[in-house]
Structure 1
Amino acid sequence: MSSARELMASAGVVPKKSKGQNFLIDDRVADRIVGYGGITSEDRLLEVGPGFGILTERLVNMGDSLTCIELDVKLAEHIRSTYGDRLTLLEGDAVKVPFPEFDVFVSNLPYSVSTPIIFKLLENEFRTAVVMVQKEFADRMIADVGSPDYSRLTVNLFYHADCEIMEPVPASRFDPRPKVDSAVVKITPRPAPFDVLDERTFFKVTEACFNHRRKKIGTSLRNTGLVDSAEDIPYKDDRIESLRPAEIGEIADAVFSLNKG
């Protein structure tokens, strides 16, 4: 594969910070990213943001079908001219483009869309996802309760899947070189480790409380209109950053029961 600089020049691509266009240039890292997916020939593969195709050239030879979603018109044309009908190319914003059915998800995610893409990913059924994200984002994905990195993202991921940082990736492995390091994260869906009465309420409570993480639980729930009174809500005087996901589930069950009654 030609160097990233050569490909940029030939495709007429000027990397945009607003799109988070930092292209992976290390073939060994690319090999490992794809390897973490445990891909079989029958798998349906989905790649978001193929860029110049350092992962695509590996994926296209591995699974039974590969779909790529690319927003940049010039990069989409590069993928189309390089791979033709060996893959399905969807042009558009992956946050908005409906995902096809897939078994394995692979992506070097731009930081600007990491959160919405991860939340969208969790709405789908799949076996494995391997994503490269900024290191600080990866830390949020696996943070423990009480950590400054503990967030709505952490809780949602914990509810849906096991999440593991597979390896750090230095900024020097990209062109243009970003200001921060990255990390490869593997997401493996599993049944929720605790039950809730209503998942929608659980996610609403999680979002409301983390949006007001410095306030007490009762205050956050009242301010967002989820309850009129927090009198019967457990942990109402605690703050969300001190509560484990299962305890947030208890709050959500109380909110659901209160509103249902």
Structure 2
Amino acid sequence: MKPSQIANELSLIDASPSKARGQNFLIDDYVAERQIAAAKIQPTDTVLEIGPGLGMLTHRLAAKADKVIAIETDRKLAGYLAQRLPANVELITADALTVDFPPFDVMVSNLPYSISSPIIFKLLTYNFRNAVVMLQKEFAERMVAHPGSKDYSRLTVTTYYHADCRIIEDVPSAKFYPAPKVDSAVVEIVPRSTPFSISNEKFFFKITELLFQQRRKKIRTILKSKRLIDADYDLPYLDLRVEVLSPEQIGELSEAVWSLKNR
């Protein structure tokens, strides 16, 4: 859709793009087609879409999948969609951050920047075949970053633990209406078996979060301040910073601390 068409459709429902909700509407049909092609949707699939907006992706997804589940929090947009979507689309008017996702095979979404982080962390706890999502470019780069880089983060480690992830293409801000201040990227996420064993995943993710909250401090200092160790135990990597450790090494550290706590 052209910007003028989007503005006209929004005016029909007395709405305008909400900056607070991160509503930037994709206006390039070719980007949408490539995004859907990358998802490799099968005719028997159920596809999940978060934030369908005016339905640019939704109609295309419905033409390829058995069923589409679209979750939209904006009631005006949901009312607009309810009158226009095909019969094989289930529209859920709810906050995707709080509602449980119904079972699905594939996720295809242009995610609002403001909820990208919690949605990705939530998505990674579900069973699905693959996901193709549009994200802020900076966020996407954090998902695929390498140890030692400025983009390496808790998000990187969590994503790596659950899935293979790659950036498919960059998308300039000019491809959206209104144009955001930053560029976007289309990312593919493919769940796989965990690459290393962890005795307690909850503890591993807690350690990872704690360490990255103070990424410039030595690991020994952080663990002692959090009373996870109370002496100079012979544990790996204590004199390093978490930003230089691979996910596997963070897992090794987590296992060592967990064993110490449960001796």
1:230–1:236 contact (8 Å) kept in structure 2: no
Amino acid at match of 1:140: R
Matching of residue 172 in structure 1 with residue 161 in structure 2: no
Q: Which runs of 5+ in 1 are unaligned?
A: none
2:163–2:191 contact (8 Å) kept in structure 1: yes
CA distance in 1, matches of 2:145, 2:245: 13
CA distance in 2, matches of 1:110, 1:90: 17
Matching of residue 63 in structure 1 with residue 65 in structure 2: yes
2:111–2:135 contact (8 Å) kept in structure 1: yes
1:230 CA displacement: 5.2
SS state of the match for residue 36, structure 2?
helix
Matching of residue 127 in structure 1 with residue 102 in structure 2: no
1:83 equivalent in structure 2: 85
CA distance in 2, matches of 1:99, 1:71: 14
Moved more, 79-88 or 163-172: 79-88
1:222 CA displacement: 2.5
* Alignment of structure 1 residues 94-105 onto 2, 5 Å: 94-105=96-107
SS state of the match for residue 154, structure 1?
helix
CA distance in 2, matches of 1:84, 1:224: 53
1:90-123 deviations in Å (ceiling 9; x for gaps): 1111111111111101111111110000000000
Amino acid at match of 1:44: T
Identity %: 52
Change (3 A) 1:251 1:172: same
1:169-225 deviations in Å (ceiling 9; x for gaps): 011110001111100000001111122222122111111100111111122222234
SS state of the match for residue 29, structure 1?
helix
SS state of the match for residue 20, structure 2?
helix
Query: How many pairs are equivalent?
Result: 261
Aligned with residue 11 of structure 1, among 13, 19, 25: 13
* Alignment of structure 1 residues 1-261 onto 2, 5 Å: 3-83=5-85, 85-229=87-231, 231-261=233-263
Amino acid at match of 2:241: R
Amino acid at match of 1:233: L
1:221–1:230 contact (8 Å) kept in structure 2: no
CA distance in 1, matches of 2:39, 2:194: 21
CA distance in 1, matches of 2:224, 2:98: 32
SS state of the match for residue 83, structure 2?
helix
1:18-40 deviations in Å (ceiling 9; x for gaps): 11100001111010111111000
CA distance in 1, matches of 2:157, 2:63: 35
CA distance in 2, matches of 1:249, 1:218: 16
SS state of the match for residue 185, structure 2?
strand
SS state of the match for residue 13, structure 1?
coil
TM-score (norm 1): 0.96
RMSD of the alignment, in Å?
Answer: 1.3
CA distance in 2, matches of 1:65, 1:125: 17
1:84 CA displacement: 5.8
Amino acid at match of 1:241: E
Moved more, 46-55 or 198-207: 198-207
1:80–1:89 contact (8 Å) kept in structure 2: yes
1:158–1:245 contact (8 Å) kept in structure 2: yes
SS state of the match for residue 18, structure 1?
coil
2:131–2:190 contact (8 Å) kept in structure 1: yes
